[in-house]
Chain A
Amino acid sequence: MQHNPWEIKFHELARQNQQLFDPEAEPFRIKVLANITPLYLEQCLEYALRLQGVPAKVELGNYDNILQDSQSLEGYKAVVVFWEAINLADQLEAKADAMEQELLQELAHQTMAQVAMTLRELARVPLVLFNTFSAWAFEPGFSRSRVSGLCSDLNQFLEAKSVELPNLRLVDLQKVLAHAGLAGSFDWRGYLASKVLYSFHFFKRYAQFVVPPILSLAGKAKKIFVFDCDNTLWKGVLGEDGWDGIRMRHDCAQGRPFAQVQLMAKALVKKGILIGICSKNNPEDVLEVFEKHPDMTLREEDVAIFKVNWNDKAANLRAMARELNIGLDSFVFVDDSDFEVELVRRELPEVTVAQVPKPEHHYPEMARALLDLFYRPWVTPEDHNKTQMYKAEAKRRQVEAQHADLDGFLRSLDIRVSLHDSEYELLPRMAQLTQKTNQFNLTTRRLSETEMEALLESRQHEVFAWHVADKFGDSGFTGLALIDLEGEQPHLSNFLMSCRVIGRGIERAVFDALVERLAQDGHELLTAEFVPSKKNAQVADFLPSLGFERVEALPDKTRYRLRLDQYQAQNIHHIKLEWHGR
C-alpha cells in the first residue's frame, strides 16, 4: 500500500509544507478572501499544491473585508472566496428564523450586489474559486432554516455569473462537506470565539477538492491516459481466452465495469485527452480487437498511440513520451498486474500509476476518481481533433524516416501557416496555449482567458496566433507571439509553439512576417527576453539564432534586442505563410 499523504496531523502537515517550500521557484500566489477565519486553509492548500509541484504561496486577506481586499490583487494567480451564509449578518444562524421576511430579502439583495461588485474587481485574476452558499453548518437534521432559501437564491445568482465570467469557478461546498462528513467539519468553539467555523479535517478535504482547476491553470493537468488491455480494458486474457472469451459488453455483469471504463475513456477523447495502449500481447491481435470486435467501445481511431509488444512497460511509456513529445509527468497509467504497477512506480515516479481494484465492481469508481486529474476549464476546437492531430504527427514521423534528407521531407509536407492578428474568437485557445506549452516557450508566462482579453482590450499589445496545416492534416492553432507596445520599443513578451509543430522551421517563417510587420509600422528595434524554466532549454538559443544581440544576462533571464533593419530574413521556402484576412 502507498502512504496516504493526507493521513496526517496538523503539525506534521505544517512541517512537511515548510519542507516542500522551494525558495528558488517563483511563487504561485493565491489570495484567500473570507468573511470567516479560515484557520487551516493556508497550510492545507499550499501542501496540496506543493505535493503536485506547484510552488504555491497562500495569503489570507483581512477578516470580513472581501470587497476591499478584492481591489488590490495584482500578481495573484488565483483567489479563493469563503463568503459564508452564517456570517452574512452577525449570528445569522440564530436570528434568521425570527427575522422578518423582508429583512431577509433585503439581506439577499445586498449580498448579491456586494458579490457582483467583488467579481467585477476580480475580473483580472486568472482564476476565482468561489464557494457556493450553504446552510448545512447549522441544519443537522430534517428541518430547513430560512437561511436555506436565502442560500438557494444566492447560488442561482452565482450560477448565472459563472456563465458570464470565464474566470469564475464555483466550488460546491456541500459536496466538500459530504466528502468530509458533517460531524467532523465544524469547530464550534472556534466559531463562537473567533469566527473560525471549519475544522482542520474540513480544510484537508477542501484543499484536495479545489486542486484540479488550479493545476490546470498552472499547466500541470494530465494529458494522456494509458491503459493496459487484458483485465484492464476487458475481462480476460486475449492470448488465452481468445476473441470470444474476453468480456467488455454492457449487457454482461463481468464485462460491465470494463464497458464503463471504456466509455469514460471515450468521453476523455472528446475533451482532448489522449488515450494510449500499453500491453504485452501480439500487436496484430490487439489491433484486430480495436478494429473489429463488436463489443468494443474504444476504437482504433480513439487511440493516439499503441505500444503493444513484449518490451517492459517503463520502456514503452518512455517511448510514448518521446514520440508524442509529452512529459512523463503528464501521464496516468492503469494496469491490473502487481508486477507492472510496481515496475512503473519504481522506474518512472513522475507517472501517476493506478491499479485495477479487486473486486472489479470498484473499477469504474476508481477510474472516475482519476478524471479530476485531467480537469480542464474549457474545451477548444483543437481539443476535439487532438487524437487525429497526434496520429497525423505519427504518420509524418514515419514519412520522415523514409526520406533520406530533412529538406526533401519538409518540402513534401506542403506546410501552410495562417497568421492571425489579435482575434477575440481565439481567446480560449490563446490562453490555453500559454497554459499548456512548456518546451518551446520563451518566457513561460501563463495567461488566463481574462488576462488575455485584457491585453487585447488595452490596445497596447499585439497578440499573434498561427494556424498550421499540411498534407497530413490540420494541426490547429499551435503558436502564439505577444508583442508589448507599452514602452518606447516593442517588446516580445512571449513566443511559444506547441510541441506538435516544432522542428519544421515554422517559428522562423513566422518571425520573418513579424519583423516585416513591425518594420512597416515604423519600429526600429525589438526587445525580447529568455526566461529559463525546467523544460524550455530547447529555446535558449532561439533569439541569438535569429540575430538578436544579448543586452544583459540576469540570474533569472537574459535580455536581447534586435535592430530590425539588420534582420536577416530566414526565407523558409518550404512553408507557405499568409496573413489571415488580408
Chain B
Amino acid sequence: MEDKLREIMMAVLETSSIGPDASPKTIDNWDSMRQLQLVGALEDEFQFEFDDQEIGRLNSWAGILSVLKARAKA
C-alpha cells in the first residue's frame, strides 16, 4: 500500500520523491488543485469514496496513510 501511495503521489504531485514528512508545506506543487486530483486518484485506485471527515485528514503522507489503513481494516 505504501509503494502504491508513493507512486500515485509522485505522479500527481509531479515530484521525484515522497518522504514521511511529505505535506503541502514540503512539496511546492501540492496546491489545492493537486489536492483534489490526489483525492480523485486515490478513490480511483482503491475503488471507494472518502467521506468528509476522511478528506479532512488527507493533507499529508502520514494522514493519508492512516486513513487508507483504517479503510483496509474496516
A interface residues with partner B (beta carbon < 8 Å): 9-12, 14-15, 18, 37, 39-40, 60, 187, 189-190, 194, 196, 199-200
Query: What are 18 pairs between A and B in contact, CB < 8 Å?
Result: A9-B41, A10-B44, A11-B8, A11-B41, A11-B45, A12-B11, A14-B11, A14-B12, A14-B14, A14-B41, A15-B11, A18-B11, A39-B33, A39-B37, A39-B40, A60-B33, A189-B49, A194-B36
**Bound CA span A199–B7, Å:** 21
Range, interface on chain B? 10 to 19
**How distant is the Cα of A39 from the Cα of B41 in the complex, in angstroms?**
12
How far is the CB of A56 from the nearest CB of chain B, in Å? 16
A199 to B37, CA, bound (A): 10
The answer to whether A196 touches B36 (Cβ under 8 A) is yes
B36-A190 in contact (CB<8A)? yes
- Report A48 CB to chain B, min CB distance, Å: 17
| Interface residues of chain B: helix, strand, loop or mixed (majority) | helix
A37 partner residues in chain B, CB cutoff 8 A: 33, 36
Given the complex of chains A and B, what is the CA–CA distance between A9 and B11 in angstroms? 11
A8–B10 CA distance with the chains assembled, in angstroms: 16
On whether the beta carbons of B14 and A200 are closer than 8 Å, the reply is: no
Chain B positions within 8 Å of A, measured between CB atoms, are: 7-8, 10-12, 14, 32-33, 36-37, 40-41, 44-45, 49
Q: Please classify the interface of chain A as helix (H, G, I), strand (E, B), loop, or mixed, using the class held by over half of its residues.
A: helix
Total cross-chain contacts (CB, 8 A): 44
- Would you give the shortest CB distance from A40 to chain B, in whole angstroms? 7
Closest to A201 in B: B44
Question: How far apart sit A196 and B33, CA to CA, in the bound complex (Å)?
Answer: 10
Are the C-beta atoms of B7 and A11 separated by less than 8 Å? Answer: yes
> In the bound complex, how far is the Cα of B40 from the Cα of A18, in angstroms?
19
A12–B44 alpha-carbon span in the complex (Å) = 11
Q: How far is the CA of A100 from the CA of B45 in the complex (A)?
A: 45
Q: Contacts A10-B40, A10-B41 hold; do A18 and B33 have CB atoms under 8 A apart?
A: no
How many Å from the CB of A428 to the closest CB on chain B?
39
Report how far A196 CA is from B41 CA in the complex, Å. 15
Using Cβ atoms and an 8 Å threshold, which residues of chain A touch B36? 37, 39, 190, 194, 196
Known contacts A11-B45, A200-B44; decide if A40 and B37 are in contact (CB<8 Å). yes
A10 and B33 form a contact (CB under 8 A): no
Residues of B with C-beta under 8 A to A187: 40
Which residues of A sit under 8 angstroms from B12, Cβ to Cβ?
10-11, 14
